[in-house]
Amino acid sequence: MCGIVGYVGTRKATDVCVAGLKRLEYRGYDSAGIAVVEDGKLEVVKVVGKLRNLSEALEETPLEGTLGIGHTRWATHGKPSKINSHPHVSNDGRIALVHNGIIENYAELRDELKQEGFEFVSETDTEVIVHLVARYYEGDLAAAFRRAARDLEGAFAVGIVSADHPGQMVAARRFSPLVVGIGAGENFIASDMGAVREWTDQVYVIEDDEMAVITRDGIELTDFEGKPVHHEPYTIPWPAEAAQKGGHKHFMHKEIHEQPRAMRECLLGRLTDAEKSITLEGLNMTEEEIKRLRKVVFTACGTAFHAGLVGRFLMEKLARIPAECDLAAELRARDPVVLEDTLAIVVSQSGETADTLVALRELKEKGASVVSVVNVVDSSIARESDGVVYIQAGPEIGVASTKAYTLQILTIALIAAHFADVRGAASEHELIELRRAMLSLPEQAQTLLDREDEVKAVAARYYDSHNSLYLGRGVNLPSAMEGALKLKEISYVHAEGYSAGEMKHGPIALVERSLFTVAIAVKGDVYDKMIGNIQEIKARSGPVIGVAFDGDTEIPRQADDVLWVPPCPELLTPITVAIPLQILAYHIADMLGREIDQPRNLAKTVTVE
């Protein structure tokens, strides 16, 4: 996830682009850059790190041009560095391009272009696009991009300028977001409307395989064949102040809502067709190594630990490999025995959590090979691992982890399904069904978000309770633990995540009218037992919120309220179940007036043991 902006008009392009990028910094802050057309030449400034570094660089090297494109980067291919920063420029220095997305066939394209004599300077997937445009350029920038688009597989939103066209910008999209801001005597492009809200409340929301040729006074919208398309301008309904959070009240809310898109990006290039095997670049394990595995050990902290607990389940059920999951902070204390051919899977959003890093080193020292499941590219945990599969969630700013959690589970599910495939642990039919279900997850996530008001109404009935219990079994025991963690950390309401089967061994004594229970009772192996547990709570006058599959007729009879989730294979339900529980926690905390993005006593990245 990166942010792009562009400007053509009468103001200094750098002023507009930097201000727009500031509103997009939530999309990435590994590096930033800008290209401006000035006196028939392209001027490019790039920096590593946050945007203030770009502002400082531009103070030293002011650019006066009134046509420009800018980028703030969240590294996916290639580490954060100046050379990998956008804009990328054609070999003759005449065309510059910014990109958000992932080009899946970049390796083939790069080989092809290199053979034709194009020189590559970066490790990015993006650089192939600018060389492709240059390859097809015969004086018409839009025509060159149209031709290039035919060669590209994957996701992109791009902004392109050329020194030959000092008053024109080309922008295009496939899967990655793009809007064109409509001004008077000036126009804009951006990854989201928040970036242009300061100057206009009118935008065109560009759709897949559409592009725009933009000048000061005109915006021409076409498809990739050059056929005109028509969009009504959309009026941004919120004020400029709300821009950075894209109109959401909190980053946490925004990040919850980013899940469908983030899931799609996580699957890109890895799982494209249910009939085809999964490919995981970065895993760095041969088929032989995968077949030899005798054990998988997950380790992580907090929310990432809950994803690891789901991972343990997936690894055993799908790939039939014995698996454990350890809290990173506890792992060293028990001096774990590491067998030969053990794989440690280390899960971390930030890639910098001290406890997790220490656990990684311990396992490595004892002979385990390490694959990390990480969000932040080139973080310490990623660097110290033998292989890394990035979750590709984009920056997570809210302290409470939401999209990183569902994407950690999705990424681990990809790894487990891949292992099952290589080891022959599941039938072809089972694997196809599972992969098909994974491909449906983004759409199911969207359905769950569309039901936010129903969950909010449930939150309104329980927000003034002081105690709660979250119950689950099997693969959804971690869901109960994560649901409880979300509620307690942002609302400060006491919440306990517990195995429903363990209730009768003690905690059931807590049940009374003022303690509400969230019971995860989606259809699957443990469904009947969960119904029994709900009845035990109801018999003791405890109110119950059930989490059930759409169409279930039993749970509404047993529970006081129901959070509905669309049906999917039981092994993937921790991903869907997480979403209404995040929304429930969010609205309870909001109704209590809590500081949702920065709860008391917490930090986003915990770099002390």
The answer to the question of residue 484 lying near ligand F6R (CB under 6 A) is: no
Residues 49 and 54: their CA atoms lie apart, in Å, by: 8
CA distance 162 to 90: 10
Stretch of 55-63, 174-182, 295-303, 572-580 lying at the interface with ligand F6R (CB under 6 A)? 295-303
Q: Is 349 in the site for ligand F6R (CB under 6 A)?
A: yes
The pair of three-digit structure tokens given for residue 266, joined into one six-digit string? 């996580």
We find the least distance from the C-beta atom of residue 582 to ligand F6R, in angstroms, to be: 10
Which range in 67-75, 346-354, 443-451, 574-582 contacts ligand F6R by CB under 6 A?
346-354
The Cβ of residue 525 has, within 10 Å, a number of other Cβ atoms equal to 11
> Which of 350, 411, 476, 479 forms a contact with ligand F6R (CB under 6 A)?
350
What minimum distance in Å lies between the beta carbon of 434 and ligand F6R?
25
Binding region for ligand F6R (CB under 6 A) out of 14-22, 103-111, 344-352, 532-540:
344-352
Residue tagged 């939150």 (tokens)? 459
Contact 9, 183 (CB under 8 A): yes
DSSP-based three-state secondary structure for 233? coil
Q: Is 401 in the site for ligand F6R (CB under 6 A)?
A: yes
Choose between 58 and 485: whose C-beta lies nearer to ligand F6R. Answer: 485
Q: Which residue stretch of 101-109, 194-202, 345-353, 556-564 sits at the interface with ligand F6R (rule: CB under 6 A)?
A: 345-353
Residue 497, SS3 per DSSP: strand
* Angle, vertex CA 126, rays to CA 65 and CA 56, nearest 5: 40
162 is an interface residue for ligand F6R by CB under 6 A: no
The one among 100, 353, 517, 558 contacting ligand F6R by CB under 6 A: 353
Selected binder of ligand F6R within 210, 255, 489, 570 (CB under 6 A)? 489
Burial 267-287 (b: 16+ CB within 10 A, else e): bbbbbbeeeeebebeebebee
At its nearest, how many Å lie between ligand F6R and the CB of residue 396? Answer: 8
Positions in 86-145 near ligand F6R (CB under 6 A)? none
For the chain, the farthest-separated pair of C-alpha atoms sits apart, in whole angstroms, at 80
3 state SS for 262-291? HHHHHHCCCCCCCCCCCCCCCCCCCHHHHH
Measured from the CB of residue 526, what is the shortest distance to ligand F6R in angstroms?
Answer: 25
Binding flag, residue 406, ligand F6R (CB under 6 A) = no
Nearest distance from C-beta of residue 573 to ligand F6R, angstroms: 20
CB nearer ligand F6R, residue 189 or residue 581 = 581
* Distance in angstroms (rounded) separating the CA atoms of residues 299 and 470: 23
Tokens representing 17 are 């682009």
Q: Is 606 in the site for ligand F6R (CB under 6 A)?
A: yes
Nearest residue to 446 via CA among 544, 566, 268: 566
Minimum distance, C-beta of residue 349 to ligand F6R, in the bound complex (Å) = 3
Which CB atom, from 404 or from 458, has the smaller least distance to ligand F6R?
404
Residue 372 makes contact with ligand F6R by CB under 6 A: no
Task: Report CA torsion sign: 357, 487, 580, 399.
Answer: negative
Catalytic positions, written as ranges = 2, 604
Whether a cis peptide bond, with omega within 30° of 0, leads into 87 is yes
Query: Is 31 an interacting residue with respect to ligand F6R (CB under 6 A)?
Result: no
Q: Does 259 bind ligand F6R (CB under 6 A)?
A: no
| Contacting residue, 130, 400, 469, 562, with ligand F6R by CB under 6 A | 400
513: exposed, middle or buried (Cβ count in 10 Å: 0-12, 13-18, 19+):
exposed
Q: Which residues have CB under 8 Å from 515's CB, separation 6+?
A: 465, 467, 468, 469, 542
The contact mask relative to ligand F6R for 260-279 (x = CB under 6 A, - = no) is --------------------
Q: Out of 302, 472, 497, 543, which residue is the one contacting ligand F6R (CB under 6 A)?
A: 302
Residues that bind ligand F6R (CB under 6 A): 301-304, 348-350, 353, 356, 400-401, 485, 489, 605-606
